[in-house]
Amino acid sequence: MGEKQRKLLVLYASQTGNALDAAERIGREAERRGCPASIVSTDEFDRSSLPHEEAIVFVVSTTRQGDSPDDVN
């Protein structure tokens, strides 16, 4: 009997694109290792579905003097 394949969700929040670049690298590495991955911006993700996700990686960058990026809800 086959084991259920887990899916990885990579959520990112980026001001200048650095967190997006890192999220994409993580997603590519996960898929290279056989784990399907979705890469989604935090401002596009429906937070109510968060408890239903199996595995999540958060990639959040800071900007200026440690401020959070604009696309953080």
**pLDDT for the residue 61:** 87
pLDDT tens per residue, range 8-54: 999 999 888 999 999 999 999 999 999 999 999 999 999 999 999 99
In terms of pLDDT, which residue wins out, 8 or 73? Answer: 8
DSSP state string for 2-68: PPPPP-EEEEEE-SSSHHHHHHHHHHHHHHHTT--EEEEETTTS-GGGGGG-SEEEEEE--BTTTBP
User: May I ask the CATH class of domain 8-60?
Assistant: alpha beta
In terms of pLDDT, which residue wins out, 63 or 59? Answer: 59
Residue 52, token pair as written in the block: 């239903």
**pLDDT for the residue 6:** 80
Q: pLDDT at residue 60 above 80? A: yes
- With H, G, I as helix, E, B as strand and everything else as coil, classify residue 71: coil
Pick left, alpha or beta for residue 17 (phi over 0 → left; psi -120 to 50 → alpha; otherwise beta): left
Per domain, the residue ranges of the chain are 8-60
